[in-house]
Amino acid sequence: MVRMRTRKNDMNTNKVSKTLLKRLPVYLNYIKTLPEHTESISATKIAKALDLGDVLVRKDLAKVSDGGRRKLGYVREDLIRDIEEFLDVNRTACAVIVGAGKLGQALLDYDGFEKSGLQILAGFDICPGGPRTGGGKPIFPMSRLEAYCRANDVTIGIITVPAEHAQKVCDQLVACDVEAIWNFSPVHLSVPEHVVIQSENLAVSLTALRMQMKNRG
Amino acid sequence: MVRMRTRKNDMNTNKVSKTLLKRLPVYLNYIKTLPEHTESISATKIAKALDLGDVLVRKDLAKVSDGGRRKLGYVREDLIRDIEEFLDVNRTACAVIVGAGKLGQALLDYDGFEKSGLQILAGFDICPGGPRTGGGKPIFPMSRLEAYCRANDVTIGIITVPAEHAQKVCDQLVACDVEAIWNFSPVHLSVPEHVVIQSENLAVSLTALRMQMKNRG
C-alpha cells in the first residue's frame, strides 16, 4: 500500500522564517556527515549535537518533513531528501571565481560544492598564472569575464581578490548580471538591492572563536 | 581636563549574551573596513548596512562604549578601540594548521589574521610537499606536531585536511592540549567539553546563499 503523504515541500518557502532557512543547511550538513552506518536520527540528538533547543529543532523538522516517528526519530535518508527537496538545492547553479590566487584555486578545485548544487566553471584573474588549476579548471583573463558569464548562464560570482580590489570586482560581476555574490575578501561590499550577497569573513569568525575561548578560560 | 570614563570593558564578558559576542566581531569588521576618510559613524548607519535593528545596534554599542553622541554618532577610531578592548583581541594567540594543501597554504600565507590577534606559526602534513609555503611559513611532518605545539604554546589548531581524516587530526590536536579547534573540513567534529570548536562550513554557507537567491527570485 502506498502511503499518501502531504508534501510539506509544496509550501511556499517565501513564507518560512529567515532563521529557519539559516538553520536548515546546518541540520542538513550535520545529518549528512553522521557516520555512514547511522540509519535514524532524533530531533533531540540533533539539538544536542548542534547546541540548539530541543523544541526548536522538533518544530523546524516538522515543517519540512512528516517522517518523524515517536521514539524512533527520522529515517536519516528520508530526512536528508525532505530537507534537500525543501531547500531545492538539487538544481545546479553555475559560478565563476574572480581572483585565482591560492584561495581561489583551492575553491576552484574543491569537489564538495557539487553536492550542494554549485558548479564552479572557471577562474578569472588580472594576471592568470597559468591556463588551468592543478585540478584542471580553466583560468581566464578578466577581459573575458562578461562574455563568459553571459554565454554560460553564470548566476553566482565568487570573489577571492585582495580587499582593495573587491568592490571593483563586485561591480564588474554585477554588470555581468549575476544574481548573487559570494564574497571571501575581508571587506564590506555594496551591491544593488536585487543582488544577494553573502560574505565569509574569517576575521569575524576568528574573533568569535577567541571570544568563546575567553569565555571558557 | 581629563574626562573620567566609566570603563565599560571592566564588565565581566561572561555575563554578556552569546548573541552580542557574535555581533560584536561583525560590527568591528564593518567599522574597520569603512573607507579610510570616515571619521564618525552612527548606530543607525551600522544597523542599516548590516541589516540589523536600529535599537539593537544602539543598545549593543552602548554596552561596549560610552563614546556615542546624539546626532554625531561615534568617533570611528574610538569605537574600534572600545570594541577591541572589550573583545580583548589584542593579545596574540598562536596556531598551527594541519593539512598543507591549497586551502591550508592559503591560510598560512594570509596576512590578515594578525590584525585579529592570531599568529599561524606553521603547517603540518602527512606528506609535506616542500619545507616552506610560498610565503615562507614552515611545513613539518605530522610526527613533529605534539612537540612543536608544546614548545610554542600553541592554543589553536586549524584543520584543513579532507573530511575522512578530520576527526583523527582533531583528536591529535586535542592531545596536544590546544584550547580551540578551527575546523575547515566539511564534517562535524567531536571534541571534549573543555575545547572550543568553530567550524567554517562552506557547504552550509552555500546552501544559505542559494536559499536567499530563491527567496528573492
Q: Are residues B190 and B106 in the same domain?
A: yes
Chain B interface test: which of A28, A85, A204, A215 (most B C-beta within 10 Å): A204
Instruction: Please tell me the total number of residues recorded for chain A in this structure.
Output: 217
At which residue does the C-alpha cell 553564470 appear?
A: A154
β-pair partners for B118: B93
Give A14's pLDDT tier (boundaries 50, 70, 90).
very low
More reliable by pLDDT, A51 or B95: B95
In a domain, B212, yes or no: no
Each residue's pLDDT tens digit in chain B (217 positions)? 334 343 444 444 445 676 787 788 889 989 988 888 999 999 999 998 888 899 999 999 999 999 888 888 999 999 999 998 887 777 789 999 999 988 898 889 887 788 778 899 999 999 887 788 888 899 999 999 999 999 999 999 999 998 889 999 999 999 999 999 999 988 889 999 999 998 887 877 888 888 778 777 6
Mark whether A103 and A147 lie in a shared domain: yes
How close does chain A come to B182, measured CA to CA in Å? Answer: 8
Residues of B with Cβ-Cβ distance to A111 under 8 angstroms? none
Report percent pLDDT > 90 for chain A: 47
Q: In this predicted structure, what is the pLDDT of residue A15?
A: 54
Same domain, B45 and B22: yes
Distance CA B29, CA A204 (A): 7
Is A214 contained in some domain?
Answer: no
- Residue B199 resides in a domain: yes
| B55 phi/psi in degrees, rounded to 5 | -65, -40
Does one domain contain both A172 and A102? yes
Q: How far is residue B176's CA from residue B183's CA, in Å, rounded to a whole number?
A: 16
Structural domains of chain B, count: 2
pLDDT of res. A13: 43
Average pLDDT over residues A157-175: 95
* In a domain? residue B30: yes
Cell, residue A133: 588549476
Contact B215 A25 (CB under 8 A): no
> Residue B78's domain is classified under what CATH number?
1.10.10.10
- Give the residue-averaged pLDDT of A143-152: 97
Side by side, the strands of the sheet bearing B139-141 are: B139-141, B118-125, B93-98, B154-159, B180-183, B196-199
A118 grid coordinates: 554549485
User: Please, what is the Cα angle at B41 between B39 and B45, to 5 degrees?
Assistant: 145
Are the CB atoms for B207 and A93 separated by under 8 Å? no
Under an 8 A CB cutoff, do A211 and B13 touch?
Answer: yes
**Are residues A198 and A176 part of one domain?**
yes
Q: What is the radius of gyration, based on Cα positions, of chain B?
A: 20
Same domain, A120 and A79: no
Contacts of B9 in chain A (CB under 8 A): none
Domain that holds residue B128: 93-204
- Residue B43: inside a domain, yes or no? yes
My answer on whether B116 and B199 are in the same domain is yes
Q: Are residues B199 and B105 in the same domain?
A: yes
Check B196 against A187: CB less than 8 A apart: no
Average pLDDT score over chain A: 86
User: Does residue B210 lie within any of the structural domains?
Assistant: no
Strand partners, B75: B40
According to DSSP H, which parts of chain B are helical? Answer: 18-32, 43-50, 54-64, 76-87, 102-109, 145-151, 163-175, 202-216
Residue-wise pLDDT for B178-195, tens only, equals: 999 999 988 889 999 999
Residue A3 has pLDDT above 50, yes or no: no
pLDDT at B217: 62
- Residue whose cell numbers read 560544492: A113
Q: pLDDT tens across A93-112, in order?
A: 999 999 998 889 888 988 77
DSSP letters, A21-57, are HHHHHHHHHHHHTS-TT--EE-HHHHHHHHT--HHHH
Let me know if B69 is exposed, middle or buried by CB neighbors in 10 A (0-12, 13-18, 19+). Answer: exposed
Taking CB atoms and an 8 Å cutoff, what residues of chain A touch B202?
A: 107, 110, 112-113, 200
Higher per-residue pLDDT: B74 or A87: B74
A15-37 burial code (b ≥16 CB/10 A, e <16)? ebeeebbebbbbbbbbbbbbeee
pLDDT of residue B154: 97
Q: Is B7 part of a structural domain of the chain?
A: no
Contact A25 B102 (CB under 8 A): no
**Residue A96 CB-half CA count within 13 A:** 32
Q: Could you tell me which residues come within 8 angstroms of residue B38 by beta carbon, excluding any fewer than 6 positions away?
A: B76
Q: Do the beta carbons of residue A145 and residue A128 sit within 8 Å? A: no
Name every chain B residue with its beta carbon within 8 A of the beta carbon of A204. Answer: 25-26, 28-29
Same domain, residue pair A105 and A188:
yes
Higher pLDDT, A146 or A26: A146
Complex ipTM value: 0.72
Q: Hey, CA dihedral for B56, B60, B62, B66, is it positive or negative?
A: negative
- pLDDT, residue B10, reads 40
Asked whether the beta carbons of residue B29 and residue A93 sit closer than 8 angstroms, the reply is no
Say if residue B156 is in the same domain as residue B192.
Answer: yes
Of A101, A198, A206, nearest to B113 by CB-CB distance is A206
Cβ–Cβ of A211/B109 closer than 8 Å? no
Beta-bridge mates of residue A10: none
> Are both B162 and B116 inside the same structural domain?
yes
Asked if the structure places residue B216 within a domain, the reply is: no
Give me the residues paired with residue B73 across strands.
Answer: B69
Higher pLDDT pick, A122 / A186? A122
How far apart, in Å, are the Cα atoms of B158 and each of A113, A142, B104? Answer: 21, 33, 9
> Which residues, at least 6 apart from B57, have a Cβ–Cβ distance to it below 8 Å?
B27, B43, B44, B46, B47, B50
Task: Point out the domain boundary residue: B31, B54, B85.
Answer: B85
Size of the A and B interface in Cβ pairs below 8 Å: 188
Question: What cell numbers appear for A62 in the block?
Answer: 516538522
The pLDDT of residue A47 is: 92
How much is the pLDDT for A80? 93
CATH code of residue B117: 3.40.50.720
User: In which residue are the cell numbers 575547515 written?
Assistant: B184
